[in-house]
């Protein structure tokens, strides 16, 4: 059964949204992971290395999550929920670095 034009357009928009979420949302989540790792109670050099290594895992996991979620909305919501605690930790790190 062929899709109507409107249904096909919605499917393409949902796919595009997932691709954008995987690329840019995953990148943002990985960057927040790297910054949040500086809040770990360890030597700063080790924290940078740990954050960098963890960011690769987070980026890959975010890309998998985005395409495994039931809908594009849930994919974005999952990324936002995961970003909130990382944003708090990264904000503390940035605030302490500026003080």
For 14-60, how does the pLDDT look when each residue is reduced to its tens digit (9 = 90+)?
A: 999 999 999 999 999 999 999 999 998 999 999 999 999 999 999 99
Q: What is the pLDDT of residue 3?
A: 78
**How many CB atoms within 10 Å of residue 9?**
11
The token duo for 46 is: 């080790």
DSSP state of 23: I
Question: Is 32:86 a contact under the CB 8 Å cutoff?
Answer: yes
Q: Which of 34, 22, 9, 2 is nearest to 64 (CA)?
A: 22
The answer for 42, left when phi > 0, alpha when psi is -120 to 50, beta otherwise, is beta
Residue 99 binned pLDDT confidence (cut-offs 50, 70, 90): low
**Each residue's pLDDT tens digit, 72-95:** 999 999 999 999 999 999 998 888
């Amino acid at each position: 059964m062929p899709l109507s034009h409107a249904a096909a357009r919605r499917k393409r928009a949902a796919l595009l949204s997932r691709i954008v979420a995987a690329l840019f949302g995953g990148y943002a989540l990985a960057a927040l992971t790297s910054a949040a790792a500086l809040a770990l109670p360890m030597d700063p050099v080790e924290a940078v290395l740990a954050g960098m290594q963890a960011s690769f895992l987070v980026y890959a996991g975010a890309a998998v999550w985005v395409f495994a979620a039931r809908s594009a909305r849930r994919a974005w919501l999952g990324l936002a929920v995961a970003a909130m605690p990382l944003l708090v930790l990264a904000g503390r790190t940035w605030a302490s670095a500026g003080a």
